[in-house]
Amino acid sequence: MKTVGWRSLLFALAIAAAIAGVLSLPRVGNVADGIGLDILVALRYALFGSHYRTNDAQVVIVAIDEESYRRDPLADRPIALWTPEIGHLVDALVDAGAAVIGFDVVLPTTIDRLAPGYDREFLRAIHRAGATGRLVLGEIHQQEKPLLPYRGQVIAAGSSNVRPLNLNEDLDGVIRRVPLFLKADPEQVPGFALELAARFLGTPPKAAGGRDVRLGDRTIYAAAEGGLLINFDGGPGGIPRYSFADIVQCVHAGKLDYLQKAFSGKIVILGAVLDVEDRKLTTKRFVTAPDGTNEAPRCLLVPLPGLNRSDLTRSVIPGAEIHASAVRDLITGRALSQVTPLDRFMMVLLATALAAFAGLILSASAAALLVIVALTAFAVLSVVALQKLVVLPTLPVAIAALVSCGLAIAWRSAIVDRKRRALAHAFRLYLPSPAIDRLLSAPRGPELGGELRDVTVLFSDIANFTTIAERQDAAALVTALNLYFDHMAEIIEREGGFIDKFIGDAIVAVFGAPVGPSDHAAAAVRAARAMAANTPQLSFSTRIGVNSGRVLIGNIGAKRRFNYTVIGDTVNLASRLEGANKLYGTNILLSGDTRAAISDIVVREIDCVRVVGRADPVVIFTPIDTHDQTSEAQYAAALNLYRNGDFKAAADKFTALKGDAVAAVMAIRASSLAETPPASWDGATPLSVK
């Protein structure tokens, strides 16, 4: 966790206010809220399924559908000429006890001029329904000239039985609301859905302050931009559709029982449910169902086969379903309401501020993870709230949080972390990267102190460096040394170690601290082998000692000046082993502790030695490239004789290993001891070199 300066705090507050302000702009807020609601409706459907069932629906649609166009006697006839059949339908619905009939179609013309009396029965039927308040014709007010039902229909039905079919379109072109009241002269008029609901409930709608509406004992809360926010159900949606073609045949056949069962006491909307015309993008766009899934049981006609594809789910739904959904919400009291603009602003502001602080005080990945987890939780909360009919500003909050978190991370990266990066870059030349990271992330500065830790120490030195230095020009030597150290450092860091210090031509490297590979011994041996293999290209030969054990590691020194380093006998032994390479003709020597910690590297046990300054003998090993079992067994046997003090036999066996440099060294040493046996012998070769 990082500390936050006052400049960062100011930045967080500024971006919180700015983002909350932008997301509260009417145009931005409208689109963000709308898309958020669409997503929530889809999530709710995924989690809870459909809320409504078709068999207890109070709102139904008689659909002028594709089948109606294809069936006799209406096939291929303009719908404007269907008025006799529509008149029969209205009569039948009234007889069947329909509560209200709504026309979601507008017939602005008549052909009575040329066919006198053609609309007579239609007009009589709508007069009959209108006189009892059971009919609402639709009208459309978009341009200067409205699209009204032909004036004769208005006279027949009654001018108070005509209501606007207008919808509220959001800025993204999606329908999420229907108007409750529309502005008119001298007083506002109810929209189509509100009028149908009011007729059904038997109570006139009244303005309830602001844009809200009182309907009986219920208050309908208007959306922020006005209108009723429709609570679209996912999937089929629970509004049954009756094919106009089937109902017309049913009416002609006098099937009153069917008609009563289907329409008695219900709101019936006559509307178009066609493949192309009058289909809208709505809140339901992500969770629609294939056309035909809401089809009610038929009265007479068997559905025409092949009209609807069961595998085709379209994002657009018929306008009649929009009005029907709004009416259902009004009569069931399940319309949606939004939080107040102030609450919305505060939620967005809070989300922005919290996400910005997360971005400032946490690492980028931790902040991103925290914000995503928090937003997921908020989305779940929003779905639950939607079930309770309250719409939370989910998408604005999500946008605010993500943007502010991103900006905070960018700010920190660009302004605050720039100094840290520069510092880290500079100190990476002196300290291991993990130690720098730990230093920079610590709440306080570095202090004296360390820890005991099991590590592997690698000590390397250039063979015969003094001789080389005497022969070479100083500048060329420095260039060669730098090249050498570059390569060695690269190998060490690649294996997860860090260079503790350079001592002349020597390197002290540590594996397993301050953080490092758990297989630090193997990593050190791999590094040692790579270093030894690379040195011939660099005109040097490297000798390396590797030892594993417990060290004291940390900030060691005086209060005013200290180093991050390791101290302990483990380091000393590594140094001694490096020096012992000279005696055995090897490049790498490993201690027994290191050998014990590795398993997949082939080694040869060279000898047992007693180094300067250390009483206990140490078994030493060297890694080998090929494992010739016969030779290794012979060496092991010779070594066993050597340790047991049978120097003559040991010398013979070592000598028998032709071409083996280490065996040759051991053969000479065994022969020497055979000639002048030591006073006491415990199997450990005393080393005089450091």
Partner 1 sequence: MTFHFRIFLAVIFLAGLCINAAWCEELAALVEEISSDVQGVLPYDYVSAGREIDLGTKGRITLGYLTACVEETVQGGRLTVGNKGSVVAGGHLSRQAVPCPAPIRPSAAESSQSGAMVFRAPPVVSINVTYPIITVPTPGRVVIKSITGHEEPIYLESDGHVVDLANKGPPLRLNTTYLIEYAGRQLVVRVTAKATESAPVFARLIRF
Considering only residues 78 to 117 of the shown chain, the ones binding partner 1 according to CB under 8 A are 78-82, 104-117
Shortest distance (Å) from residue 186 CB to partner 1: 8
- Residues 609-628 close enough to bind partner 1 by CB under 8 A: none
Residues near 615 by Cβ (< 8 Å), separated by ≥ 6?
A: none
Does the protein bind partner 1 through residue 184 (CB under 8 A)? yes
- 60 in helix, strand or coil? strand
The residue within the footprint of partner 1, chosen from 34, 36, 130, 179 (CB under 8 A), is 179
Contact assessment for residue 379 and residue 394, using Cβ atoms and an 8 Å cutoff: yes
- Residues 187-206 close enough to bind partner 1 by CB under 8 A: 187, 189
Q: Which is nearer to partner 1, 149 or 432 (CB)?
A: 149
For residue 509, give the nearest of 578, 444, 407 by alpha carbon. Answer: 578
Stretch that binds partner 1, among 151-159, 392-400, 617-625, 646-654 (CB under 8 A): 151-159
Q: Which is nearer to partner 1, 317 or 481 (CB)?
A: 317
- In angstroms, what CA-CA distances link 393 with 31, 34, 36, 40, 282? 11, 9, 7, 10, 18
Does the protein bind partner 1 through residue 226 (CB under 8 A)? yes
- Residues 125-144 close enough to bind partner 1 by CB under 8 A: 127, 138-143
Q: Which is nearer to partner 1, 190 or 545 (CB)?
A: 190
For residue 611, give the nearest of 662, 673, 545 by alpha carbon. Answer: 545
Q: What are phi and psi of 59, to 5 degrees?
A: -125, 130
- Which helix (H) or strand (E) segment holds residue 213: the answer is strand 213-215
Does the protein bind partner 1 through residue 159 (CB under 8 A)? yes
- Residues 236-255 close enough to bind partner 1 by CB under 8 A: none
Shortest distance (Å) from residue 444 CB to partner 1: 59
The residue within the footprint of partner 1, chosen from 38, 67, 170, 593 (CB under 8 A), is 170
- In angstroms, what CA-CA distances link 190 with 99, 116, 193, 425? 18, 34, 8, 71
Stretch that binds partner 1, among 203-211, 223-231, 510-518, 640-648 (CB under 8 A): 223-231
The residue within the footprint of partner 1, chosen from 20, 62, 89, 123 (CB under 8 A), is 123
Angle between helices 83-96 and 256-263 (to 10 degrees): 80
Shortest distance (Å) from residue 253 CB to partner 1: 17
Please tell me the distance from the alpha carbon of residue 169 to that of residue 271, in angstroms, as a whole number: 20
Shortest distance (Å) from residue 160 CB to partner 1: 7
- Residues 486-545 close enough to bind partner 1 by CB under 8 A: none
The residue within the footprint of partner 1, chosen from 2, 51, 88, 124 (CB under 8 A), is 124
Strands 59-65 and 267-273: parallel
Q: Which is nearer to partner 1, 186 or 445 (CB)?
A: 186
Number of residues that bind partner 1 (CB under 8 A): 77
C-alpha atoms less than 13 angstroms from C-alpha of 284 in its C-beta half-sphere? 27
The residue within the footprint of partner 1, chosen from 148, 386, 436, 577 (CB under 8 A), is 148
Q: Which is nearer to partner 1, 76 or 311 (CB)?
A: 76
Shortest distance (Å) from residue 405 CB to partner 1: 33
Report the 3 state secondary structure along 1-53: CCCCCHHHHHHHHHHHHHHHHHHCCHHHHHHHHHHHHHHHHHHHHHHHCCCCC
The residue within the footprint of partner 1, chosen from 76, 217, 473, 600 (CB under 8 A), is 76
- Residues 23-52 close enough to bind partner 1 by CB under 8 A: none
Shortest distance (Å) from residue 373 CB to partner 1: 37
Please tell me the distance from the alpha carbon of residue 33 to that of residue 391, in angstroms, as a whole number: 9
- 297 in helix, strand or coil? coil
Q: Which is nearer to partner 1, 79 or 619 (CB)?
A: 79
How far apart are the two ends of the chain, measured CA to CA in Å?
Answer: 46
Convert residues 252-291 into a mask of x (bound to partner 1 by CB under 8 A) and - (unbound).
Answer: -------------------xx-x--xx-x-----------
Q: Which is nearer to partner 1, 269 or 641 (CB)?
A: 269
In the chain, the amino acid numbered 36 is: G
Length of the chain: 690
Please tell me the distance from the alpha carbon of residue 420 to that of residue 436, in angstroms, as a whole number: 10
Shortest distance (Å) from residue 192 CB to partner 1: 8
Alpha helices, H only, 388-514: 394-411, 417-427, 433-441, 465-471, 474-494
* Residues 587-604: b if buried by 16+ CB within 10 A, e if exposed: bbbbbbbbbebbeebebb
Shortest distance (Å) from residue 70 CB to partner 1: 15
Strands 449-462 and 506-511: antiparallel
- Residues 294-333 close enough to bind partner 1 by CB under 8 A: 318-320, 322-323
- Residues 568-587 close enough to bind partner 1 by CB under 8 A: none
Residues near 397 by Cβ (< 8 Å), separated by ≥ 6?
A: 347, 348, 351, 375, 378
**449: alpha, beta or left, given left = phi > 0 and alpha = psi -120 to 50?**
left
Shortest distance (Å) from residue 213 CB to partner 1: 15
Shortest distance (Å) from residue 153 CB to partner 1: 9
Does the protein bind partner 1 through residue 380 (CB under 8 A)? no
Stretch that binds partner 1, among 92-100, 162-170, 234-242, 467-475 (CB under 8 A): 162-170
The residue within the footprint of partner 1, chosen from 146, 504, 557, 678 (CB under 8 A), is 146
Structure tokens at 343: 């609450």
Please tell me the distance from the alpha carbon of residue 488 to that of residue 295, in angstroms, as a whole number: 79
Q: Which is nearer to partner 1, 146 or 613 (CB)?
A: 146
Contact assessment for residue 319 and residue 272, using Cβ atoms and an 8 Å cutoff: yes
Does the protein bind partner 1 through residue 155 (CB under 8 A)? yes
Q: Which is nearer to partner 1, 72 or 600 (CB)?
A: 72
- Which helix (H) or strand (E) segment holds residue 258: the answer is helix 256-263
Q: Which is nearer to partner 1, 113 or 388 (CB)?
A: 113
Q: Which is nearer to partner 1, 59 or 491 (CB)?
A: 59
Stretch that binds partner 1, among 69-77, 202-210, 533-541, 565-573 (CB under 8 A): 69-77
Stretch that binds partner 1, among 122-130, 333-341, 442-450, 680-688 (CB under 8 A): 122-130
Stretch that binds partner 1, among 161-169, 489-497, 535-543, 646-654 (CB under 8 A): 161-169
Shortest distance (Å) from residue 240 CB to partner 1: 18
